[in-house]
Amino acid sequence: MRRVSERQAVRELSRHWRCRGERIGLVPTMGNLHAGHLALVDQLAGEVDRLVVSIFVNPLQFGPEEDYDAYPRTLEADLEALQGRGVDAVFAPSAGEMYPHGAPLTQVDVPALTGTLCGLDRPGHFAGVAVVVLKLLHLVEPDVAAFGAKDYQQLQVVRRAAADLDLPVAIRAVPIVREADGLALSSRNAYLDAEQRRRAPALYAALTELAEALAQGRRDFAALEAQGRERLAAAGFDAVDYVAIRRCDDLAEPAGEERRLVCLGAARLGAARLIDNVEARLIG
């Protein structure tokens, strides 16, 4: 497993593999790897010839009041965790290497998908995500790239940007990895103290309740969303950013005829902002 820190080096490595007719996979991460990240790696390792994992804490996707400086950086532990998992190269650039001219002047935005949900509370976040993901896709030129389904809105933004720009890459969604009590794995779970950790699974439980209600035929979407917010408040969350029922593909509010919806939520416990989602398949 090679460690690469320069853009030109990872580009040349990828093009060398491509000239040999090898299929390339990419797993973009911000490091501090946990079992959820490793599920992405394992998903692609079995279907590509060469696998690249990127580790880069992207400053563009952090707001001025967010945790960029405090975000855990555990590169040596991450490299150890990736050993023996079929990873051929780890691309771990510095911010100066990724953005040699400073903050990019070029913006990438998908306003229909970013002007809602997390985009309302984190202005500029998804534009920062889109820029770094597109840079990584151009540098590595993978045939397939894997993203976790926990970051559902991010997944849809990346899918749409890649499709709109005709990038020759398949965007693979990997199911959420959860703790035994349902809490979705996240690097930010480390911010939870013991009492907050006890309360945290209520987010998944509330969204599961909404998905089950939809599957059973309820269509009073606003009432269901209010029910979800009340459940989280009662569970002791410090703030509920949103509980929302949306169409899967475009995150638009449902009209009542859809057969696939997703229940999404974002809520805060202390310093941790937790997000989760549960898809609902409707009948009738």
Question: Tens of pLDDT along 245-267?
Answer: 999 999 999 987 778 999 999 99
Residues of the chain with CATH 3.40.50.620: 2-174
Residue 64 pLDDT: 85
- Is 124 annotated to bind ligand? no
Residue 284 pLDDT: 58
Q: Average pLDDT in the 221-249 region? A: 97
**Domain 187-279 maps to which CATH number in 3.60.150.10, 3.50.50.100, 3.40.605.10, 3.30.1300.10?**
3.30.1300.10
Q: Average pLDDT in the 63-69 region? A: 86
- Is 33 annotated to bind ligand? yes
Q: Are strands 239-247 and 260-269 parallel, antiparallel or unpaired?
A: antiparallel
Q: What percent of the chain has pLDDT over 90?
A: 92
Residues of the chain with CATH 3.30.1300.10: 187-279
Residue 259 pLDDT: 82
Residues 6+ apart with CB under 8 A from 6: 93, 97
Residues 6+ apart with CB under 8 A from 4: 10, 13, 89, 90, 91, 92
- Is 148 annotated to bind ligand? yes
- Is 37 annotated to bind ligand? yes
Let me know if 37 is a catalytic residue. Answer: yes
Tell me if residue 279 falls in helix, strand or coil: strand
The one catalytic residue among 16, 37, 125, 138: 37
- Is 193 annotated to bind ligand? no
- Is 43 annotated to bind ligand? no
* Class of 2-174 in CATH: alpha beta
Question: Tens of pLDDT along 168-194?
Answer: 999 999 999 999 999 999 999 999 999
**Whole-number Å distance between alpha carbons of 200 and 69:** 24
